[in-house]
Every structure is written in structure tokens, then in C-alpha cells.
Amino acid sequence: MLKLKIAILPGDGVGPEVTLEALRILRAVDEITHVDLRVQECYVGGAAIKKFGTPLPAETLDACLKSDAVLLGAVGGPEFDKLPPEQRPETGLLKLRQALGGFANLRPVTSHPAIADCSALRPDLAANADVLIVRELLGGIYFGEPRGFTNDEHTAAVDTMRYSEREIERVARVAFDIARKRRRKVTSVDKANVLHTSRLWRSTVDRVARDYPEIKLQHVYVDACAMQLISAPASFDVILTENMFGDILSDEAAAIVGSLGMLPSATIGGEVDLYEPVHGSAPDIAGKGIANPLGAIGAAALLLRHTAGLESEALAIELAIRKVLEAGYRTADLNRGTGRQLVTTYEMGGLVERAFMDAAETRHAYHAV
């Protein structure tokens, strides 16, 4: 029997609400497949600051390192903005990523015809978009040294952009390996006309590409990519880029599907994989029961695919999400057009669970004949 130990980090804002629905789906998978699912809930971010005085308690980190995977909700909120940077919730997340060692962040962006009216793009542009953004996660300007304010008056500051060949090569190989299983195209995004790190990025990616002759490689400046992602999203397959560019482009890509609440992410390549929705803590809607849990549920599907190796179950969850959307159910962020049925966070999770269980029962009945 497959054993799967997961550390659940609900975090702040809407994090606990959407994580609860993701966990509901994982328990449904456990019921059908009889995975030995073991869950430990821990504090992180602002919730951890309030209870322990630190955004990443030692107990949380220890539990994560002893798990097969980590499922995170969201961290942060305006109530913590006055804290020193090193004490804020987001610092706990960066330290967690560093400790887990995952260097490749996978952010799939797939258009759903049923919610084409929610896209910021014309339906003909959003249609058939299926993009995977592979973002390097442990290097670049978010981690480079020196960093911080350069004088006591806080009137000047510095952040350092730094990359090594090793950091670039390992994430590039992840992108090319995945492209082999998709449409065999990698778009590497940089700013090589300005940045030395981008020149190193481009030359390293070129070198890695020689090991993948069947993959079509193109280089695009980040500003051009930002425009093309909106004007022709279906032209992309796998987008490979560095930390900050990936952060920005993946949020922009939410315009294709209509909401950040739709997007999941997986961080792989380290000691323990980390899964989370792309959206933030959304404190303005926290506790109202209207947050979209589909990004978090999608993250649970990615967990089953990349950590547990349960591809059919992951696909079944993604199909269940599609069926619920096709049936016209929407959370508040997707409440556009006519003929839609507005549901709560909890109700949306229940609908996906039911669609998944119905499909599982149908498969079981078919195999029993």
C-alpha cells in the first residue's frame, strides 16, 4: 500500500478555507484508492507569528522535512506590513522553500471553455491555451546577497540578482524533460539585452538544449513575452524563466483563465515537494466563504501526480473540476455571464468531490462488468 504523509500548512487569510477543500479531495482519493494518507497540520506565516512569534516555527519545518509533500494555503496580510522584513509571513515562506530545496516551480495555466467569458482575453485568444510556466525558485533577486537598506535612514536600498550555471542548468533540464511529454517547445524568457545574469541564462539554456534535439527552443525577452502571453497565449507550450520574471508572468497568465483562484503550483526537485495555489491570502474576503478553492484542489492533483505517482487520480480530479465548471457552478471571482449558479467555497469543494466520486464509481462499475 502506498503511504503518503502530508504536512498541511493552511496559513493566513483564505488559506485555511481553500486548503480544507483540497484536503477533502485528497481524502476522497484515499477512500477510493486506499492510499495510507497521513496528515499533520502545522502553523506558518502570520498564523505562526501570532502563536509562536516567528513565521516558520522549528516544529513546522521539522514536520515538513519528515513528510512526503507539503500542501500550503497562503501567507501574509496587511496587519503584518509594519513588521521588519525578516519577521514577516512571506519570509517564512521563502525560508521554507529554501529548506525543502525545491528549485523548479511548475505553474500550469489551462483555459477552460466553460469559463471563457471570465477571461480578460477575447474567447478566441484564450481558447486552447495550455501553458506550463517553469520558474526557477531558489535563485535570482529574491535570494541574492547583498540585500537590504544601505543606510540608517532607509533612503537607499539594494537587491542583488545572482545566478550560477548550475542553478540555471538544473531547472532548464526540468523544463526540457517536461516538454518531451507535451508539445515539445520551450520558450526561454530573459532580459539578455540588459542583464548579465540573463546572458548567462541564455548561453546555459542553449547548451542544455543540445541534449534535447527534438525540442524546439526559442528565446524571448521578458517584456515581449508579457505582451505575447496576452495576445497569443496558445502559441506557448513550456515557458522557462528565472525567479522574479516567473513570479510576474504566472500572475499575468491568470488573465487567460479569468482568476488567480484557478491556478495551482508545484515546487519540485528538492528533498520534499511543495504544493500551493498561486493566489495570495486575500484578506479582504477571508472568512466569507467565497474564495475559489479550485487552485488549491488543482494543487492537490499536482501532488498526486508528481509526489505520489497517481497520474490517473490526478487526471480524474482535473476532469472533475472541468465538469463542475461545465455544469455552470461558479465562485464569486468567476461570477460573470448569465445562467451561472453562484456557490460558496465549501459547496464548490463538495461539487468537485462528488464529480470525482461519481467518476470513480463509474470506472469501478465498468471494470466489474
Out of 12, 43, 142, 333, which one is annotated catalytic?
A: 142
Out of 190, 247, 273, 333, which one is annotated catalytic?
A: 247
Active-site annotation holds for 95? no
Active-site annotation holds for 223? yes
Active-site annotation holds for 247? yes
> Per-residue DSSP letters for 153-188?
T---EEEE----HHHHHHHHHHHHHHHHTTTSEEEE
Q: Cα(263)–Cα(247) distance, rounded to whole angstroms?
A: 13
Out of 191, 237, 323, 329, which one is annotated catalytic?
A: 191
Active-site annotation holds for 251? yes
Angle at Cα 8 formed by Cα 244 and Cα 28, nearest 5°? 115
Active-site annotation holds for 159? no
Out of 5, 68, 251, 346, which one is annotated catalytic?
A: 251
Q: Cα(283)–Cα(77) distance, rounded to whole angstroms?
A: 6
Place of cell 533577486: 141
Out of 36, 206, 211, 223, which one is annotated catalytic?
A: 223
Q: Are 100 and 106 in contact (CB under 8 A)?
A: no
Residues 6+ apart with CB under 8 A from 200: 163, 165, 168
Beta strands 264-268; 104-110: pairing state: antiparallel
End-to-end CA distance of the chain: 25
Catalytic residues: 142, 191, 223, 247, 251
